[in-house]
Structure 1
Amino acid sequence: MAQSTEAVPNSFSILADPVRRYVLDYLDEQETPISFDRLGTRVAAWHTDSDPEAVDDATLTEMRTALYHVHLPKFDEAGYITWDADTHVIRRGPNFDEIAPLLRLMAHQEDELPAGWP
């Protein structure tokens, strides 16, 4: 199913942020829903280029705060994820399949992107 004219710019806006691309890549690889804590730890480890166990508390708090207040609401609004703020469970949303091809194309063509691409 083709995306609406309004959905395409929103998809690109969401993919423009490297943290959001990482989150969507990570969710694309998961077979089952994930916890907010696990996602926050993975994003913090990716962001600092370290092992999840090596992430300091300040970085972990910063990344979890950004996920909770900025990134996850954008995904939820677009229907790319669903998350339950009470149980802190995150899963692919009803519109995830709309953004997945763009995400995979960017991942497979990463070497072709201009220098300094976010």
Structure 2
Amino acid sequence: MDEYFQALADAHRRRLLVALLEHNPQRDSIVVPEDVHEGEKSLEALQIEFYHVHLPQLEEAGFILWNRDTHEVMRGPRFDEIRPLLELLHNHADELPDDWL
């Protein structure tokens, strides 16, 4: 459980993982950070942060697959393990503080 909460401890990682809920893992991917950028940081700063912190952590945990060349992210082999927590966040987003997702 600690590993799941560690993955969800940052809003950028939460946004990325929740965004993957709505994508077909066989056909769709997310381009990071463009597809999860919310404007609170510059796109360039966020890209550096994703590349050096968030994506390696999520990939190591097995929650995502990351193509470093194209910056595309897909569901990883362990994505379904964290799915119930992501669905809970997604389904109750309107009840959570704005900065949670």
TM-score, length-scaled by structure 1? 0.69
Higher relative contact order (CA 8 A, sep 6+): 2
Aligned-CA RMSD value: 2.4
Q: Which residue of 2 aligns with 1:3?
A: none
**Which protein has the bigger helix share?**
1
Runs of 5+ unmatched residues, structure 2: none
* Aligned pairs for 1:29-108 within 5 A: 29-31=22-24, 32-34=27-29, 38-44=31-37, 47-48=38-39, 59-108=42-91
Q: How many residues align?
A: 98
The correspondence for 2:18, drawn from 21, 25, 29, is 25
Radius of gyration: which is bigger? 1
* Aligned partners of 2:32 and 2:72 also within 8 Å: no
Could you list the runs of 4 or more consecutive aligned residues of structure 1 that deviate by over 3 angstroms after TM superposition? Answer: 86-89, 110-113, 115-118
Q: 1:60 to 1:95 in 2, by over 3 A?
A: same
TM-score, length-scaled by structure 2? 0.80
User: SS at 2:32's partner residue?
Assistant: helix
Q: 1:39 to 1:89 in 2, by over 3 A?
A: closer
Percent identity at matched positions? 40
Q: Deviations over 1:82-104 (max 9, x none)?
A: 11324433211000000011111
